[in-house]
Amino acid sequence: MRSLFHLRRSAYEEMWLFAFWKHLGFAASSAEEAFGLTCRRWLHIQNISRGSLQFQCSFTLLDTSSLSRAIPNIRTLHLQRLLTRFQHLHSLSLSGCTQLPDSGLMQLQQYGPTLTALSLDCCFEITDDGLSFVANGCPSLTFINLYRCNITDAGLETLAKSCLGLEDVNLSYCWLITDHGIRVLVGNCSRISAIRISNCERVSGVGFEGCSETLVYLEAESCKLEPEGIAAIASGRGLEYLNISNLSWCIRGDGLGKIGAGFATRLKVLNLRLCRSMGSESVAAIAKGCPSLQEWNLAWCHEVRLSGWESIALNCRNLEKLHVNRCRNLCDRSLMALRNGCRKLSVLYMSGCPRISSNAIEFFRLFRGDVTIKKEEVLTVGPAWAFRR
């Protein structure tokens, strides 16, 4: 129910507009007719000029000006009315519409051609059937968020074969997606630049084999990636941001070293936090094979020893930020190596390292006054734009 304040404001605005028309010299009856026609015209202009729409239930408010009036549970009828009214949307967020069924997306077949961005995150009732409506009605999509949607490879394949211009896709927590779905996605969408598959436990990574150079951003936290999958991920040669943190419980041996096999020379940000079993050999391979690294998160990487840290100091000449929180085998000699190398280092995130003495820290600060040591542990690293969707 609208508040008394909003009712009074609306009435005041209408009275002002009516007075405006009378001021122009119209008779009372003529003013009423002109006023009515103008209001309808203005409403039409508002409808056709609105480019984005989201709801109060959205978990990510991208633009408060695009909010619709509060509707507790968005259902098919609500969405149908809104899409009928706003027929020129380029961005639609249904984020948090947890009870929206597949049938609610049917109207996109008629009103979706202009959409370039669609957010369906936490739409738990959306399945492959709903995704087929999106595929049929939204050929211009460049961004889609399917976080926690109940979709399979079949739905993803339908989408990828219809929306060839997709550039940014979020599949995080879509636990039914496998390497087959990923293979179809990267094989059909040649302009894909960002993919998020965090917690997709059925993805090993091999589906990325031969991916386009346009793929610059990949987030695959807590996935069961295999060494062959790691190599496939890097095969596109265009990666600049890679998050494969929390692989300690699934990766075999030192398979992460494949990141440094020569295919990731453009890599700037690498998040390997909680990769507890990764050893110095893998770190050395990455340090040598990824010369463009600017930020590297190695927090909780307990098996990285002196030779690994020395390799970072020697080879990571563009490294600006390094995260070493709670690395059990980071010792005084390791810190000295980092002190003498990594000439572009500006921030060192370090805390909870039991083998680092206070004297070593003081010497580091004395010789590297250009480096700020921060005790906080950062969970997410990367460019700011990566966390807006």
Instruction: Supply the mean pLDDT for the chain.
Output: 86
Task: Give me the mean pLDDT over the 81-95 stretch.
Answer: 88
What mean pLDDT is predicted for residues 179-199? 98
Mean pLDDT of 175-191: 98
Residue 199: pLDDT above 70? yes
Chain centroid to CA 60: 12
Q: What's residue 13's pLDDT?
A: 54
pLDDT class for 67, splitting at 50, 70, 90? very low
At 358 the three-state DSSP class reads: helix
More confident residue, 25 or 299: 299
Residues 6+ apart with CB under 8 A from 9: none
Position 379 scores a pLDDT of: 87
pLDDT in tens, 320-364: 999 999 999 999 999 999 999 999 999 999 999 999 999 999 999
Query: Above 80 in pLDDT, residue 35?
Result: no
Neighbours of 351 (CB within 10 A): 14
- Average pLDDT on 92-109 reads 93
Q: Read off the pLDDT band of 126 (50, 70, 90).
A: very high
Q: Give the confidence band of 30 by pLDDT, cuts at 50, 70, 90.
A: low
Q: Residue 18 pLDDT more than 60?
A: no
The percent of residues in the chain predicted with pLDDT above 90, rounded, is 70
Whole-angstrom Cα distance, residue 234 to residue 211?
A: 9
Q: What percent of the chain has pLDDT over 70?
A: 78
Structural domains present in the chain: 51-150 (3.80.10.10)
pLDDT for 81: 83
Q: What is the DSSP letter of 54?
A: B
Question: Where would I find the H helices in 306-376?
Answer: 306-315, 332-340, 358-367
Q: Kindly give, in sequence order, each residue whose CB lies less than 8 Å from that of residue 22, ignoring residues fewer than 6 positions away.
A: 28, 31
At residue 337, what are phi and psi to the nearest 5 degrees?
Answer: -60, -45
pLDDT digits (tens, 9 = 90+) for 39-51: 666 665 665 667 7
pTM: 0.84
Tokens 């020379």 sit at which residue?
265
* pLDDT computed for residue 333 by the predictor: 98
- Using CA atoms, how far apart are residues 281 and 303, in angstroms rounded to an integer? 10
Tens of pLDDT, residue by residue over 242-256, are: 999 998 555 555 689
DSSP letters, 60-124, are S-S-GGGBPPP-SS--HHHHHHHHHH----SEEE-TT-TT--GGGGTTHHHH-TT--EEE-TT-T
Q: To 10 degrees, what angle do helices 28-49 and 4-23 make? A: 120
DSSP string, 132-149: HHHHHH-TT--EEE-TT-
Q: Is 243 in a helix, a strand, or coil?
A: strand
Q: Does pLDDT of 70 surpass 70?
A: no
Q: Which residues of 103-122 are buried (b: 16+ CB within 10 A; e: fewer)?
A: ebbbbbeebbeebbbbbbbb
Please tell me the predicted confidence (pLDDT) of residue 66: 44
Q: What are 160's two structure tokens? A: 């990828």
Pull the structure tokens for residue 283: 């770190």
Q: Report the pLDDT value the prediction gives residue 7, as an integer from 0 to 100.
A: 43
Question: Averaging pLDDT over each range in 42-51, 100-109, 144-153, which range is the top one?
Answer: 144-153
CA distances 233 to 151, 241, 244, 260, Å, are 22, 11, 10, 12
Could you tell me where the beta strands, DSSP code E, fall in 151-268? Answer: 168-170, 194-196, 217-219, 241-243
277 vs 221, 251, 300, 315, CA distance in Å?
15, 8, 10, 22
As a whole number, mean pLDDT of residues 229-240 equals 94
> What is the residue-wise DSSP string for 9-37?
HHHHHHHHHHHHHHHTT--HHHHHHHHHH
- Asked if pLDDT for residue 23 goes beyond 70, the answer is no
pLDDT, one tens digit per residue, over 275-311 is 998 999 999 999 999 999 999 999 999 999 999 999 9
